[in-house]
Amino acid sequence: MRLYFAPMEGITTYIYRNLHHEYYKGVDKYFTPFVSPTMHGCFTPREKKDVIPNNNKNIPIVPQILTNRVDYFLDTAKQLYEYGYDEVNLNLGCPSNTVVSKCKGSGFLSETYALEKFLDGIFSGTEKKISIKTRIGRYGEEEFKELLTIFNHYPIEELIIHPRVQQDYYKNPIHMHVFLEAMEKSKNPVCYNGEINTIEDYENLKKSCPNLQAIMIGRGAVGNPAIFSEILTGEGFEKKIFKEFHEQLYETYVEALGNNALYKMKELWIYMGRLFPDGDSYLKKIKKSQKNKDYEKWVQQLLEF
């Protein structure tokens, strides 16, 4: 089974990826949060910092691109290939309203004529590897039949499917039967993404899809950074390793972000808190912390609880 770490905007940036790769094993590919090229260039300074090779040494990285313009995609992909990457990923999955309103991400899925012209352009414009991360439609699951027909026209390196529509966001149930049909009818390799938060979720997925070769985990992996190694080895969560990982991550964020490090760490605890089901009182205090010393005190007490 190939295991991928999904991109999460503002969270799985190069600082996080480097430290996760140092402390936890099992990830075959880390996908970067999307870069969104414009008329002003392929990357913003922040996006460029996240994808440049010097910040991603010895880590298996796939940069992700969010755009609906062929020229923007090809220019950005060319730059990324020149950096040394051998695969780029097209984002057709982001459900954010600000993205969708610009006909990007999962908003592009309802414009099938324009989408097919776009895919014609990018696949004829390069012979390098292009994978796609997609939802199954914008409004309803019935849209995916046409979308899969379109995807089957192209040599996609891997079709990563999150089996929800855009309007499901991250809350409504997974349309598992649509994914199973995709596995059967896709001419390209298929990867599953969505609601893998525990080893039990992984085992249930394997029972449903015994021939599945790849899965991508995002929120479940931020919530439990050890989930990939747990899948591979069966060994459970180790608080000692998590503590070392957290301390190094916190120190690196303080060095890089100064006072903003506190807000970055509190955002991570939205997900990581589930590792400590009996620590609600400490988690509330962590999330309310306004000073680094208070944050450090409550985290220490939580980890010693």
**What are the tens digits of pLDDT across the range 108-159?**
999 999 999 999 999 999 999 999 999 999 999 999 999 999 999 999 999 9
Percent of the chain whose pLDDT exceeds 90: 97
- Among the listed residues 272, 250, 201, the one whose alpha carbon sits nearest the alpha carbon of residue 230: 201
Average pLDDT rounded to a whole number, residues 19-37: 97
CA dist., res. 204 & res. 197, Å (int): 11
Structural domain boundaries in the chain: 2-233, 239-304
Distance CA 94, CA 138 (A): 10
Pick from 48, 50, 41: nearest CA to 75: 41
pLDDT for 237 equals 83
DSSP one-letter code for 32: P
Mean pLDDT of 166-180: 95
Looking at every residue in the chain, the average pLDDT score rounds to 96
Question: What residues are paired with 90 via a beta bridge?
Answer: 65, 132
Sorting pLDDT into bands at 50, 70 and 90, what band is 19? very high
Residue 257 has pLDDT above 80, yes or no: yes
Q: What is the pLDDT of residue 294?
A: 96
Q: Which CATH architecture is the domain 2-233 placed in?
A: Alpha-Beta Barrel (3.20)
Integer angstrom CA distances of residue 127 from 31, 73, 84, 134, 160: 20, 14, 15, 21, 20
Per-residue b or e along 78-90, where b marks 16 or more CB atoms closer than 10 Å to that residue's CB: ebbbeeebebbbb
Residue 236 pLDDT > 90, yes or no?
no
- What does the pLDDT read at residue 235? 80
Q: What is the largest CA-CA distance in the chain?
A: 57
Strand partners, 190: 159
